[in-house]
Structure 1
């Protein structure tokens, strides 16, 4: 299974030391040692695309937490922290890393914070904005663990996802406020590609920047749906072009013809220009074609 992970083209691979490992394996440290040996012995050229490796640790209440964290930092892998209820958890993380003295030499240690309880959502703003006193450790992403969250809050999951709208929106807002990535929940219906696409499109509309995959077959659809569509790119490029002309003529807004052949115009001004520029920035990062006018 570890070797098979090298064949995926997901942006980040999360190796799980928590729920995917039997208690007996945790007691023997076998899973941790096997993972560390595998990753450290694999040539960089063979690692997943962009060499982004993350490790989901056991939570802070377990006897395995500290050893998991030290192993992740030693390998310079991104720790994914489960069951983070408050900044006290993050202070403990900083204490363990500080006593070990590890981490990358050229930047802060990045943490992925998993939001999976009522307390973590209540404190999500302070979690997103947390940094250690030496600015050597900081959150880089908020990740929504929907099933754990529902188990903690007694929320009943439905096909519509309506019951999670508030929670997901809060996570996105907190992430955006502090410049973090916002990673949406797993789609557990991994064989239903139509539903996966619908859930991805819904997450992108809410502002999520990515989504967890529970199966390799989900990766392509996630990649396809978390980038702007051809129509969105065309509209964004048109807005940027027309606003350049508008500013050159010393005006601040312009009327843009509605799409789909509808009559009328929509007013384009500075906020909509910023949205268009964001769309084009994402498209360029994904290597998509930008039309010229």
Structure 2
């Protein structure tokens, strides 16, 4: 698949992921927006506000590098609170206004990514990314925060093949997960084999050399819940062979920024 086609495909998946979450919240009464989610201190409104805030950050990264640099400077000045501050700012808005803000931001980012040169790398809080990678990262965040919303509302979502974007980021972020904790990255490549079922169609998503000594296996959904820290390893069917692979499953994260505390055992949806 050529680079422009790859970008168009992931943008289509990003739109679909946003639409699915939009359907989940668009008819909610005001009281439901105030429901607590599994993220301590964050309501449903906080989750949507965070997505609106990070979409705005991504739009700046793509269209205004100087403006994004100023946003990064603000983050560096308050590294422990800038994410919560951004969510708090939007969460106080009336639900209809917050929903409109998120939708406008999604549309603006979609247009900017669609118009971007496929070879240009844009700044981010982690390594710079091309448009296709930026779209994948936004999809990962939309899916992860959508999981928090679904958990708060008691909704069980049907996994889709869009999870392949989340899984790929989780695999590629292996060394980052070690680095962000001040740990040396493993010197060996891992083999990661994930199963995804859609009706009777069962697929294998595989990464890394087939003969790697250290391996990770399990359902794709469980792996995605693990690397986005939406469920504890003990509650998931992901397994490791090899000491470094085993250590990775304890610290895996697909998102940029400081290591989060993750979820406690037994808290899985």
Scaled by the length of structure 1, what TM-score is found? 0.27
Instruction: Identify which of structures 1 and 2 has the higher relative contact order when contacts are C-alpha pairs closer than 8 Å and 6+ apart.
Output: 2
Q: TM-score, normalised by structure 2?
A: 0.29
Q: Which has the larger radius of gyration?
A: 1
